[in-house]
Amino acid sequence: MGWGDLGVFGEPAKETPNLDQMAAEGMLFLDFYTANPLCSPSRAALLTGRLPVRNGFYTTNGHARNAYTPQDIVGGIPDSELLLPELLKKAGYTNKIVGKWHLGHQPQFHPLRHGFDEWFGSPNCHFGPYDNRERPNIPLYRDWDMVGRYYEDFKIDLKTGEANLTQLYLQEALDFISKQQASQQPFFLYWAIDATHAPVYASKQFLGTSQRGLYGDAVREIDDSVGKILKHLQQLGISENTFVFFTSDNGAALISAPKQGGSNGPFLCGKQTTFEGGMREPAIAWWPGHIPAGGVSHQLGSVMDLFSTSLSLAGLQPPSDRQIDGIDLLPVILQGQLIDRPIFYYRGNELMAVRAGLYKAHFWTWSNSWEEYGKGIDFCPGQSVAGVTTHTQEEHTHLPLLFHLGRDPGERYPLSFASGEYQQAMEHISGLVQQHKDTLVPGQPQLNVCDQAVMNWSPPGCEKLGKCLKAPESDPKKCSWPH
């Protein structure tokens, strides 16, 4: 989902009354970012509070390449990483993930091995349908075991876009919340729905209801579901004791437009890029009785802050034996403070850009290669800024391109290198970059090796269902990451 996909963020169809209302009752973040322009690394960052380059969710197979966790990926979340649910357990929390995990699908990466107590969802994206000989369909798990596969047992009609998965995920959320309320147990629910990821889907009652086509139908179903979750919290009388945050893991995928692609509002490009459209996200905090209604914040925020903020809410300290990139947003949310901190925009192993205040410096620019672009893969459809949306990797480390995101949110007008404003802003940003690089200890890259043998051939529980498939022989290779 992109920054521009909600009514409250200016989507012209304005079809998200529940999320708009959530913002009206809570705090809207206008300058909130993912940790990566792609899903898996962003989710790993959310759950670890650390940049992908630290937690291992990146590749060194090529320079500045986006990587994720397709089902032939060998790596996943390292045991050495401490995940939010692992830490929350210490404060008595019960943790559930509903939906897409995406932090690795081999047994050692299973979410229940990393702090979650319950899971209903899938380890990878709902791509497919596959043929079960070259590639198996993605399984869905309930807790430790698979309970079926996409397209086989959990239908997604690729022609109509119909699938009832968001409803299943909603029911899981409501049931879990009810159960926790009944047992008076504190809980962490990671509600990781994926209906807006291509192939986009929606339940029958939402199909055709949006001005925006299927993508809008999916957004409407998510909006409706969020409304039901918030209402459920209120009806159970625990809304004033439950902190809720809504955001996304990367900008809208414009390659899927217009049928299955969302909106990044006035920003440049989309998913896969380190322009604003790739990483600035809708973000809303909600906590009635604590967050003043109708709040708006320009705090530079990150999905990694949800790690630190959640720990703070639970009265826990973040781990002190490692670098944590997330910050505790409670002073921002509860007292309206603004905390000075930069945003680092990585693509794989390269720091592409840095934002400090309203200034954003690009050290490298790249949309995608001419080769990919020639195949019709366009991360910036209808947009082209000379020297900025480049189709070759352009290094600007000696003379970064600098934008003022207040006057120029669309990153169209680099500041003059000769201006005093440029000099002053770059002096500040260069210091931040130097400090960041000097102290950076990169993690072991997890997204380098692919192997057909590790795909979801025989997930745990497949025997009971008669759903085991025979894996091919192991043949590990360097993964190919074209972008």
Nearer to its own copies, 93 or 215 (CB): 215
Cβ atoms < 10 Å from Cβ of 431: 11
Considering the complex, what minimum distance in angstroms separates the CB of residue 210 from its own copies?
7
Nearer to its own copies, 208 or 472 (CB): 208
User: Beta strand 394-395 with 343-347: parallel, antiparallel or unpaired?
Assistant: unpaired
Considering the complex, what minimum distance in angstroms separates the CB of residue 212 from its own copies?
5
Name the DSSP class of 150. Answer: B
125 is in an annotated binding site: no
Nearer to its own copies, 32 or 457 (CB): 32
Q: Is 102 a catalytic site residue?
A: yes
Considering the complex, what minimum distance in angstroms separates the CB of residue 362 from its own copies?
15
Nearer to its own copies, 177 or 385 (CB): 385
Q: Given 39, 125, 380, 462, which residue is catalytic?
A: 39
Nearer to its own copies, 186 or 381 (CB): 381
Give the H or E element holding residue 395: strand 394-395
Considering the complex, what minimum distance in angstroms separates the CB of residue 406 from its own copies?
3
Nearer to its own copies, 12 or 472 (CB): 12
Query: Is the sign of the CA dihedral 93, 98, 102, 108 positive or negative?
Result: positive
39 is in an annotated binding site: yes
Alpha-carbon distance values, 19 to 49, 148, 219 (Å): 25, 32, 10
Considering the complex, what minimum distance in angstroms separates the CB of residue 433 from its own copies?
23
Distance CA 403, CA 344 (A): 15
Distance CA 412, CA 477 (A): 40
Nearer to its own copies, 292 or 482 (CB): 292
β-strand partners of 362: 353, 401
Chain positions contacting its own copies, by CB under 8 A: 4, 7, 9-14, 28, 30-31, 210-213, 215-216, 257-259, 263, 265-266, 268, 296, 298, 358, 381-385, 404-410, 412-413
Q: Nearest CA to 462 among 45, 55, 149, 104?
A: 149
Q: Is 380 a catalytic site residue?
A: no
Considering the complex, what minimum distance in angstroms separates the CB of residue 474 from its own copies?
43
Give the H or E element holding residue 334: helix 330-335
Considering the complex, what minimum distance in angstroms separates the CB of residue 104 from its own copies?
35
Distance CA 359, CA 354 (A): 8
Distance CA 226, CA 16 (A): 10
Nearer to its own copies, 413 or 478 (CB): 413
On the question of a cis peptide bond just before residue 258, with omega within 30 degrees of 0, the verdict is yes
Q: Nearest CA to 326 among 351, 308, 300, 345?
A: 308
Query: Is the sign of the CA dihedral 310, 313, 316, 317 positive or negative?
Result: positive
Alpha-carbon distance values, 300 to 36, 56, 194 (Å): 15, 24, 25
Q: Is 302 helix (H, G, I), strand (E, B) or coil?
A: strand
Cβ atoms < 10 Å from Cβ of 338: 12
380 is in an annotated binding site: no
Token readout for 326 is: 């997330």
Considering the complex, what minimum distance in angstroms separates the CB of residue 298 from its own copies?
8
Cβ atoms of 172 and 211 within 8 Å: the answer is no
Q: Given 63, 102, 391, 462, which residue is catalytic?
A: 102
Q: Nearest CA to 310 among 478, 97, 12, 87?
A: 87
Dihedral through CA 248, CA 158, CA 472, CA 482, nearest 10?
-50
Cβ atoms of 93 and 188 within 8 Å: the answer is yes
Q: Is 439 helix (H, G, I), strand (E, B) or coil?
A: helix
DSSP structure string for 70-123? -TTB-----TTSPPHHHHHHTTT-EEEEEE---S--SGGG-GGGTT-SEEEE-S
Binding-site positions read 39, 249-250
Give catalytic residue positions.
Answer: 39, 102
Binding-site positions for Ca(2+) read 39, 249-250
